[in-house]
Amino acid sequence: MLERLIILTLGLLGEFGAVGLVLAAKGLARFEQLKDKNFAEKYLIGTLLSVLLALGCVLIIKII
């Protein structure tokens, strides 16, 4: 939830490059767990869906 809120805020501010920083920080926090293949797959899918949802909300808000 916090990740999506940060990405949403950055998107509304037009700082899309900083989204990569958020994702990198999240990856560093989970680095050891990413060695487990099942966790890594779920982590990747969850992260991509989370980013897609946040950026979709940015798009909808900017259109309105």
Q: Kindly list the domain boundaries of the chain, sorted by start residue.
A: 2-63
pTM, full prediction: 0.84
C-alpha–C-alpha distance, residues 48 and 64, integer Å: 24
pLDDT, one tens digit per residue, over 12-59 is: 999 999 999 999 999 999 999 989 999 999 999 999 999 999 999 999
H, E, C per residue of the chain: CHHHHHHHHHHHCCCCHHHHHHHHHHHHHCCHHHHCHHHHHHHHHHHHHHHHHHHHHHHHHHHC
CA R_g for the chain: 13
H and E: helices and strands count for the chain:
3, 0
pLDDT score of 42? 94
